[in-house]
Amino acid sequence: MNAEVNQALHQAAPLLELQQVTKIYGKGDAEMHALAGIDLSIYPGEFVAVMGPSGSGKSTCMNILGCLDTPTSGTYLFQGVDVGALNRNQRALLRRHYLGFVFQGFNLLNRTSALENVELPLIYRGSPTQQRRTMAREALRKVGLSDRANHTPGELSGGQQQRVAIARAIVTGPSLLLADEPTGNLDSARSIEIMDLLTAFNRDQGITVVMVTHEPEMAAYARRIVHFKDGLIEADHVSENALTC
């Protein structure tokens, strides 16, 4: 049934594709297989939740998907491009133009206003100052923080910080948004706000979202859930929630 649904959902070519990807840390006896050969295809517009216990390889997988790391063997194709064959700078450019990141720890620049934080990826893209300002303000508006533009992270609550981080991730209009336990440091009310935002960006702007989470309630927002265990994909199924909505 899954295959059918997938086929029905995705007529297009996959946005990203992992083929027999392994990642091995260390050497000899200390060798550790973080990923033991996984296959995974994610199509444009999907909202995928990645679950699994610590050490199951999901973080390693996210690093590879985020082009921060490269597989030891196997192939990672992002929009048909073999990421493993790219050098460090090429991967940086790929992140700059196609990816957005949201982290558990927010990872905003300290002592830097929300607006300047959101501007950061635009600076690296070389957008002109005026356009940069406008786009950053627009992104802040979308996450409901127009009135906090000049506050620094220290002056914002955790939920607000995470919303700034989401604004920073989507300000460039990425193809893929990678969220690593975005609600891990938040209470449930804040978590729901964050999930609503991610769902909205996924639905309204067609941004593909891949999200790591430990919480089934959060995973329920996704339309597809991938379970990792011992470096392998244990299960890959459509969320019940998604079918009903």
Nearer to another protein among residue 154 and residue 216 (C-beta): 154
**Cα separation, 69 vs 243, whole angstroms:** 34
The count of residues interacting with another protein (CB under 8 A) is: 29
Verify binding: residue 124, another protein, rule CB under 8 A: yes
Nearer to another protein among residue 14 and residue 174 (C-beta): 174
Nearer to another protein among residue 182 and residue 239 (C-beta): 182
Question: Rounded to the nearest 5°, which phi and psi values hold at 46?
Answer: -75, 155
Q: Which tokens hold the place of 50?
A: 């990645």
Q: Which of 6, 4, 95, 3 is nearest to 44 (CA)?
A: 6
Nearer to another protein among residue 32 and residue 235 (C-beta): 32
Cα dihedral 226→223→46→104 (10° resolution): -60
Verify binding: residue 110, another protein, rule CB under 8 A: yes
Cα three-residue angle 191-174-8, rounded to 5 degrees: 85
Site residues (CB under 8 A) for another protein, limited to 51-70: 63, 66, 68-69
Residue with the two structure tokens 């927002």? 221
For another protein, the binding residues (CB under 8 A) are 63, 66, 68-69, 88-89, 92-97, 99, 101, 103, 107-112, 116, 120-121, 123-126, 168
